[in-house]
Structure 1
Amino acid sequence: MRVKCVICDKVENIDNESMIAKRLRNRPIHTYMCTECHDRIRDKTNARIESGNFRLYRSRPEKDEW
């Protein structure tokens, strides 16, 4: 299966029977990111976390009215 990275537009071939290919076929909203882009984002995110300037904003679970 030919896939295109959403960040760098690099075209790659992946195995048709892989889990990534199955997810892309069955759920079109999922997008593909090449390993270089994935690693770069992971490294930069980890560097921001270590610097202390990274805040993860999560929504609070709503309390019951009861």
Structure 2
Amino acid sequence: MRVKCVICDALNDIPDFSPLAKKLRNRPTHTYMCPSCQDRITEKTNARLATGNFRFIRRAVQEEEEF
């Protein structure tokens, strides 16, 4: 399956029967990010978390704590 990165517009091939391909076919709201873009975003997010000024809010964790 040919996929296009939403950030850098790079074209990649992924196996047709991989879980990622199935997710992209069945749920059109999900988008594909190439590994290099995903690594870059991960590094920048971790750098922001390390500063202490960035709060990483996860909704599911907050809802579990309320109960």
* Paired residues of 2:5 and 2:32 also in contact (CA < 8 A): yes
Runs of 4+ in 1 over 2 A off after TM superposition: 56-61
Task: Give the whole-Å Cα distance in 1 for the aligned partners of 2:3 and 2:45.
Answer: 25
Q: Secondary structure at the match of 2:38?
A: helix
1:2 aligns with 2:2: yes
- Flag structure 1 segments of 5+ consecutive residues without an equivalent: none
Once the two structures are superposed, the pairs formed by residues 1-66 of structure 1 within 5 Å of their partners are 1-57=1-57
Indicate the percent of aligned positions where both proteins have the same amino acid: 60
Cα-to-partner distance string for 1:24-53 (whole Å, 9 max, x where unaligned)? 001011000000000000000001101112
Q: Secondary structure at the match of 2:29?
A: coil
Which protein has the bigger helix share?
2
Q: CA RMSD in A?
A: 1.6
Task: Please say which structure displays the higher CA radius of gyration.
Answer: 1
